[in-house]
Amino acid sequence: MKFLNRLKPLLLGLLLFPSLLQAQDSTATAPGKLTLEQCVDYALTNRAAVEQAVIDEEIGEHQIKSNLSGWYPQISASYAGTKFLKLQQQPFGDQLVTLGRNYSSNILFQATQNIFSSDLLLSSRAARYVRRDLDLNTLNTRINTVVEVSKAYYDLLLTLEQIRILDENLVRQEKQYNDARSRFEVGLVDKTDYQRASITLANIRSDRNRAAEAVKAKQAYLKQLMGFPIESEVNLDYDYETMAQAVLLDTTELVDFANRVELQQLKVQQELLSLNTSYNKWGFLPTVSAFINHNSIFFNNDFSQLYDQSYPTSAVGLQVTVPIFQGTKRIQNLKIAQLEEQRAEVEVENARKAINTEYQTALANYKSDYYEWVTLRDNMQAAQEVYDIIRLQYDEGVKAYVDLIVAETDLRTTQLNYYNALFSVLASKLDYQRAIGDIDIN
């Protein structure tokens, strides 16, 4: 019983304040380390640019429906009331007759149905191209998101790797500094050895501090691209062996212009411009609509009796509006539309050349980065072997301390250059895949 009595306040608190329970759940589901694929997937759902593109699609859909609503019957009602300050007078023979009443009013109901309108015809034919253009805009945003998030991921990872390498160097350098100082204190060497070690140690600490500060900015940039909460930390999960295996790609594949979203967007714009030319031709055609109305008219000299008697009228008819002369405006607009089509053709051809240049540049960068990565991979292994040998020789008193410093610096440099080359070739691979239209957004 005592246990139940203690449990009741807790249960009551959870019922009255369910946010406490939700807080426990949110803590349990806090994000852990993120792989590159998880970062990209998160960004494709939460990045501001992607969300805006999706909203733009919804806005565009509503705009299309708004433009096409003109095909439906347009029904309106209007009311008017008038108090004549002076009524019209008309002479009939020797008498002056006053016409009308002091008060008049009418209530008009009217329905109009468009039968032919060049504006509505343009909206109907352009609807599918507008939807296609919005879809392509979203697709282009998603492709850019994959590339930009991946590069930001690699950039942050490179800086984290630089910190790891510098931390390893700090441990070694601190030991070398202590060893050199001990040897100096016992008179085995002069003080230049530990002074060099002190300078090297300070430089490494400075580089490490610079890299640690850079991590904060790069994490913020990655979170911005991902749409990640500001207050949450981004922890990366990675495997260098998997990355090294992902470096390879088929460089014999040729660019397929049809796969490039930019060209697809230009093609859609061409279709819309072609419709615009047709629209300007339709400007010579009449606008046709049908209408029906009912008008209740009221008039009386006494306002209190104005609505006692109604005099209704109603009509149905067809209205045709023919544009005859508008000062060559339609002709000029037609010529402008035709020239815009020609300009679009030039833009498409120029885009093809730009894409080809992008492809050739991306291919050249990938090949050179790949060759540099392979070279630096071998150099890093050689530098590690050289450092291990010189370290042993220095401990045995065969090599001078300056040789150890040089070997240590070479090892650190080749390690940093290797990882920089690895991430550079992965970024070049992304550029190449985008150039040939082969970015996976699924």
What are the tens digits of pLDDT across the range 25-54? 333 333 568 999 999 999 999 999 999 999
Q: How far is CA 60 from CA 121, 350, 390, in A?
A: 18, 28, 69
Q: Helix (H, G, I), strand (E, B), or coil: what is residue 99?
A: strand
Reported as a pLDDT band with limits 50, 70 and 90, residue 14 is: very low
Compute the average pLDDT of residues 362-391. 92
Q: Identify how many contiguous H helices and E strands the chain contains and give both numbers.
A: 10, 6
Cβ of 266: how many Cβ atoms within 10 Å? 19
User: Which of the two residues, 405 and 311, has the higher pLDDT score?
Assistant: 311
User: What pLDDT sits at residue 9?
Assistant: 39
pLDDT tens-digit map of 214-255: 999 999 999 999 999 998 888 888 888 888 888 988 888 888
Share of the chain above pLDDT 70, in %: 91
Backbone angles phi, psi at 225, to 5 degrees: -65, -35
User: What pLDDT sits at residue 18?
Assistant: 40
Q: Which of 55-64, 304-313, 383-392 has the highest mean pLDDT?
A: 55-64
Residues 6+ apart with CB under 8 A from 345: 270
Compute the average pLDDT of residues 140-166. 93
**d(C-alpha 279, C-alpha 117), whole Å:** 10
Tokens of 83: 């108090």
**Burial letters 314-348, b for 16+ CB under 10 A, else e:** eeeeeeeeeeeeeeeebeebbeebeebeeebeeeb
**Burial letters 86-117, b for 16+ CB under 10 A, else e:** eeeeeeeeeeeeeeeebbbbbbeebeeebeeb
User: What pLDDT sits at residue 345?
Assistant: 94
**d(C-alpha 442, C-alpha 426), whole Å:** 19
- 60: pLDDT strictly greater than 60: yes
**d(C-alpha 223, C-alpha 234), whole Å:** 7
User: Are β-strands 95-99 and 88-92 bridged in parallel, bridged antiparallel, or unpaired?
Assistant: antiparallel
**d(C-alpha 251, C-alpha 433), whole Å:** 10
pLDDT tens-digit map of 268-305: 999 999 999 999 988 888 999 999 999 999 999 999 89
Reported as a pLDDT band with limits 50, 70 and 90, residue 190 is: low
Residues 156 and 215: beta-carbon distance below 8 Å: yes
Give the CA count within 13 Å in the CB-facing half-sphere of 265.
14
User: What pLDDT sits at residue 70?
Assistant: 92
**d(C-alpha 217, C-alpha 325), whole Å:** 64
pLDDT tens-digit map of 319-334: 999 988 888 888 999 9
Residues 373 and 247: beta-carbon distance below 8 Å: yes
User: What pLDDT sits at residue 61?
Assistant: 95
Q: Which helix (H) or strand (E) holds 277?
A: helix 261-282
- 392: pLDDT strictly greater than 50: yes
Tokens of 212: 């640690």
**d(C-alpha 280, C-alpha 10), whole Å:** 74
Compute the average pLDDT of residues 376-404. 86
- 441: pLDDT strictly greater than 90: no
Residues 160 and 236: beta-carbon distance below 8 Å: yes
State the DSSP code for 85.
Answer: S
Q: Show the CA angle centred on residue 46, arms to residues 42 and 50, nearest 5°.
A: 110
User: What pLDDT sits at residue 32?
Assistant: 64
Q: Which of 135-149, 234-248, 405-419 has the highest mean pLDDT?
A: 135-149
Q: Which helix (H) or strand (E) holds 318?
A: strand 311-321
User: Which of the two residues, 176 and 338, has the higher pLDDT score?
Assistant: 338
User: What pLDDT sits at residue 210?
Assistant: 92
Does this model's pTM top 0.85? My answer is no
Q: Show the CA angle centred on residue 23, arms to residues 21 and 29, nearest 5°.
A: 110
Reported as a pLDDT band with limits 50, 70 and 90, residue 187 is: low
- Of 20-29, 361-370, 430-439, give the lowest mean pLDDT range: 20-29
Tokens of 410: 């070479």
- Of 65-69, 96-100, 337-341, give the lowest mean pLDDT range: 96-100
What is the maximum alpha-carbon separation in the chain? 144
The distance of Cα 21 from the centroid of its chain, to the nearest Å, equals: 35
- 185: pLDDT strictly greater than 60: yes
**d(C-alpha 334, C-alpha 323), whole Å:** 15
**d(C-alpha 219, C-alpha 428), whole Å:** 21
